[in-house]
Structure 1
Amino acid sequence: MRVNRNSRARSGAAVGLTVTALAAGLTTAAGPATAQPRSAPAVTWDCSAAYRIEQKLSTGTTWRMCWRHDAEAGIILEDISYQPPGETKPIKVLASARLGQIHVPYDDGKAEYDDLTGFGFGQGQVNLTAAECPGGTIKTVKVPGAFWSESENVKGLCTTTRSRGHAYRKLADDGSKVYQAQGKDLLVYGVNKVGWYEYMTEWRFQDDGTINMNVGATGSLAPGDYDAGDGRGWPIGNGSAAKATSHSHNVFWRLNFALDGSTKTKVEQYDSAVSAPTGPNEGPTNKTTRTKITKELAGDAKNMRWWRVVSGTGKNKDGHARSYEIVPGATQKYPGRAFTNNDIYFTEYKKCEQFASNNLGNCAAGAGKSVDKWVGGETLTHPITWVNVGFHHIARDEDQEPMPVHWQGFSIAPRDVTAMNPLTPAELADQNGIPRNQ
């Protein structure tokens, strides 16, 4: 059984830019009106039945994927596909989705941890109770050397469904009817205990094709950290005798897109600029610019900036290239290390580049051990997406006991994956680009 870490003593890249100015009310390049959509390839399972997840949601969407356990990263999801109503075949989205690191530096500079590759995150997979997975299934995860289980067979992966509220709502123009649907999600999650902390890693697969990825930190504040007498902590408990040391959680995710079954995807960045009115009867104007990211990039989120990963092979029924937009979540960027200085990285795939810091892969000499070192100007033919989401944890009285979950994450949202809202009711199916009274 593993001992708690009851103290903190634990073990300019060149970017090829092609800029296309787009008018307000951005449109993307499309084929002729008669263009026929390319069919997405059928799913073929690359895993045995025990490692498959397949869920048809009550709204008609089916998600399929494989899973496996990694000694450092914990649960990894692979071969993820999405089949909404109206699509005859599954649409491949991701080759893999997993954590890329949890970096935890303390404010006093006396401790800094890489929880995945330096402190046994994968071996910290814990058993889940039935009450934690209501209406779902708990899968057994083989965890050699499991820290928190008497057996290496850990009941550690929950798959269940959740309601999320309105998927859409529309009042008919004549007021005679309300079109509405309640959204459903497939929830896949596990918990890993690292010292006093417990990390909940969850993926929420929505019936509209959106995927939400989150890490929630809970468990306990480390009692050995109640020593922040230098003004960098917060008093916990009665009076001010105990001050919990403040610290950051910098969570990295690693995504390997495989839209329509191919990892040969493209990356685009979009920026919008608002200009002042040009006349007394004019309003402000907004111009959106597309930048094709052809070389490795260390990028930063800015107001009215976003990225998308575009299929190199597949189109929807309107003849538009399928893509997924990266939707950042709330973040507090940590400026103390070069690898945490950017919000997103796009790097060319190399098998050895697995973790955003303290990388354990057997890369060539001089390649560097962190993601910032891998942005070296290579042309992107098989881009890997790294998303960095930070949280500065200044403890509070409410953090004990146990500590409420604080979540860090982001989403990827379908953009032109289907020709219409995949949950469109039959009565509105003819509304694709043609306004009609309802």
Structure 2
Amino acid sequence: MPVNRISPARRRAALGLSLAALAAGLTTGAGPAEARPKPAAAPVPAADCSMAYRIEQKLATGTTWRMCWHYEKEAGLVLDHVSYQPPGESRPIKVLASAKLAQIHVPYDDGSNEYSDLTEAGFGQNLMDLAPAECPGGTIKTVKVPEAWDTAHQRVKGLCTTTRARGHAYRMQSDTANKVYQAQGKDLLVYTVNQVGWYEYITEWRFQDDGTIHMNVGATGSLSPFDYDAGDGRGWPIGKGASSYATSHSHNVFWRLDFDLDGSSKGRVEQYDSVVSPPAHGQQGPTEKTTLTKVTKELAGDAMNSRWWRVVSASGKNKDDHARSYEIVPGPTTEYLGRPFTKHDVYFTEYNPCEQFASDNLPNCGAGHGTSVDTWVNGQTLTHPVVWVNVGFHHIARDEDQQPMPVHWQGFSIAPRDVTAMNPLTPPALADQNGHTHDGS
């Protein structure tokens, strides 16, 4: 077993030794929203899961998120049947059939170690108990952990659901300057903490009241004391002087999203690229042209300046008769070029139930079928697209990383584009301003 992917019991024992050495003096390396009329009554949607595995939260601004959850041995928390019902919509809008982590790939700069934390290092099995203070104002659900390491980890109070203020949802001064329209946004927060060796990963899903979903992984815990070396240019000095160097490494995190817009697995993918040109003769400023490319075949995509993608519903439209879609909004990333599957930021593949992990895929998909997402992009037509998002972080340690290590976050978002006809939190006084102008201006 690799030394920095040790079992919880060995980790606790090693930590005790480290603390003993330290004791001996040794060095170891929301404000109120506008009132809105209630939408017409609609039948309560049928539950997709039992109460124990259901999450439903109506936020202060009137939006309700609904979803189911289950827990897998390798991937940990999986969210299913995710729907969004903002004010003014009489029934939930289905968004995702399933969403989960698909790999945390951790290669070390010196080439000595390379880990697949989900599929090789016990990520799902090492779910952590959460104290009430870690889930303020929320509920901690008990999770049955498949094939737990020991009896103590078979049932873990490890899933927090709570709400959190995020600041302004919007602010706008009226035309007459005698009124300010503003609302303070609220999010549903769902998260778990999983331990892998010395790291602890916070897997966070944040659902905004305007329909945006944020997926983030935060790495915290400890720098592994086994990763210190004499300094070969691939680490950073930690502790007194320059004798202990923490080896630099990367965290390449993958997510797998299976969309279910308007309750259909069918959908299309579109790519948009914008190009700026210098001012032409007689023009005051530069021009910018945006081009649509329909992604009809599987794609390994690279995020670029002024490029973005959206997944479009095959069946649903908003009240303006525009196709509903979700835009993929990448977060900051450091692309890792050491492996083929980490060289691209997003993959769109045709649904295959055997393809579950972006690398080191565990199911046996048959002879000749690759084990990483890059090998699955082989020209199939996209009718049921699955989205894989890769966000990298190169961790060059610093003195402030001990002890304990501050959380460093990496992730991305999906944002509603034409899911509703207007801002779903629009106050009633502005509800008639959908595409309209005033006084001919």
Alignment TM-score > 0.5, same fold:
yes
**How far apart are residue 109 of structure 1 and its match?**
0.5
SS in 2 for 1:150: helix
Q: Work out whether residues 72 and 146 of structure 2, in 8 Å CA contact, stay in contact via their aligned partners in 1.
A: no
CA distance in 2, matches of 1:42, 1:359: 39
One of 254, 257, 266 as aligned partner of 1:255: 257
One of 105, 108, 132 as aligned partner of 1:130: 132
CA distance in 2, matches of 1:43, 1:233: 54
CA distance in 2, matches of 1:323, 1:85: 18
Q: Work out whether residues 125 and 148 of structure 1, in 8 Å CA contact, stay in contact via their aligned partners in 2.
A: no
- Percent same amino acid among aligned pairs? 73
**How far apart are residue 44 of structure 1 and its match?**
2.9
Counterpart residue type for residue 117 of structure 2: D
Q: Which residue of 1 aligns with 2:80?
A: 78
One of 336, 339, 345 as aligned partner of 1:337: 339
Q: Work out whether residues 113 and 119 of structure 1, in 8 Å CA contact, stay in contact via their aligned partners in 2.
A: yes
Q: Which residue of 2 aligns with 1:414?
A: 416
CA distance in 1, matches of 2:406, 2:412: 20
CA distance in 1, matches of 2:281, 2:43: 52
Render the CA deviation track for 1:96-131: whole Å, top value 9, x for unaligned: 010000000000001000000010100011100000
Q: Work out whether residues 356 and 371 of structure 1, in 8 Å CA contact, stay in contact via their aligned partners in 2.
A: yes
SS in 2 for 1:131: helix
Q: Which residue of 1 aligns with 2:11?
A: 4
Q: What is the 5 A alignment of 1:112-127?
A: 112-127=114-129
Q: Which residue of 1 aligns with 2:394?
A: 392
SS in 2 for 1:373: helix
- C-alpha change, 1:229 and 1:324, in structure 2 (3 Å) is same
**How far apart are residue 47 of structure 1 and its match?**
1.2
Q: Which residue of 2 aligns with 1:54?
A: 56
Q: Which residue of 2 aligns with 1:326?
A: 328
CA distance in 2, matches of 1:43, 1:382: 24
Q: Which residue of 2 aligns with 1:199?
A: 201
CA distance in 1, matches of 2:237, 2:43: 57
Q: Work out whether residues 101 and 252 of structure 1, in 8 Å CA contact, stay in contact via their aligned partners in 2.
A: yes
SS in 2 for 1:398: helix
SS in 2 for 1:50: helix
CA distance in 2, matches of 1:343, 1:291: 18
- C-alpha change, 1:140 and 1:243, in structure 2 (3 Å) is same
One of 356, 359, 362 as aligned partner of 1:357: 359
Instruction: Give the length in aligned residue pairs.
Output: 406
Q: Which residue of 1 aligns with 2:243?
A: 241
SS in 2 for 1:208: coil
Render the CA deviation track for 1:391-432: whole Å, top value 9, x for unaligned: 000000000000000000000000000000000000000000
Q: Which residue of 1 aligns with 2:24?
A: none
Q: Which residue of 2 aligns with 1:15?
A: none
Structure 1 residue 229 corresponds to structure 2 residue 231: yes
Question: What TM-score does the superposition give when structure 2 sets the normalisation length?
Answer: 0.90
Which runs of 5 or more residues in structure 1 are unaligned? 8-39
CA distance in 1, matches of 2:300, 2:412: 17
Tell me whether 265-274 or 40-49 shows the greater mean CA deviation: 40-49
One of 304, 313, 316 as aligned partner of 1:314: 316
Counterpart residue type for residue 11 of structure 2: N
CA distance in 2, matches of 1:222, 1:46: 42
Q: Work out whether residues 127 and 153 of structure 2, in 8 Å CA contact, stay in contact via their aligned partners in 1.
A: no
**How far apart are residue 173 of structure 1 and its match?**
1.3
Counterpart residue type for residue 94 of structure 1: L
**How far apart are residue 436 of structure 1 and its match?**
3.1
- C-alpha change, 1:123 and 1:338, in structure 2 (3 Å) is same
Counterpart residue type for residue 283 of structure 1: G
| Structure with more contact order per residue of length (Cα contacts < 8 Å, sep ≥ 6) | 1
**How far apart are residue 241 of structure 1 and its match?**
1.1
- C-alpha change, 1:41 and 1:333, in structure 2 (3 Å) is farther
Structure 1 residue 278 corresponds to structure 2 residue 280: yes
CA distance in 2, matches of 1:172, 1:43: 38
Tell me whether 284-293 or 149-158 shows the greater mean CA deviation: 149-158
Q: Which residue of 1 aligns with 2:91?
A: 89
- C-alpha change, 1:166 and 1:202, in structure 2 (3 Å) is same
**How far apart are residue 2 of structure 1 and its match?**
4.1
CA distance in 1, matches of 2:136, 2:83: 24
Render the CA deviation track for 1:161-187: whole Å, top value 9, x for unaligned: 000000000001110100000000000
Which runs of 5 or more residues in structure 2 are unaligned? 1-7, 16-41
Counterpart residue type for residue 181 of structure 1: A
**How far apart are residue 363 of structure 1 and its match?**
0.4
CA distance in 1, matches of 2:163, 2:438: 35
**How far apart are residue 283 of structure 1 and its match?**
1.0
CA distance in 2, matches of 1:393, 1:206: 29
CA distance in 1, matches of 2:160, 2:209: 18
CA distance in 2, matches of 1:310, 1:41: 26
Please list every run of at least 4 consecutive aligned residues from structure 1 whose deviation after the TM superposition is greater than 6 angstroms: none
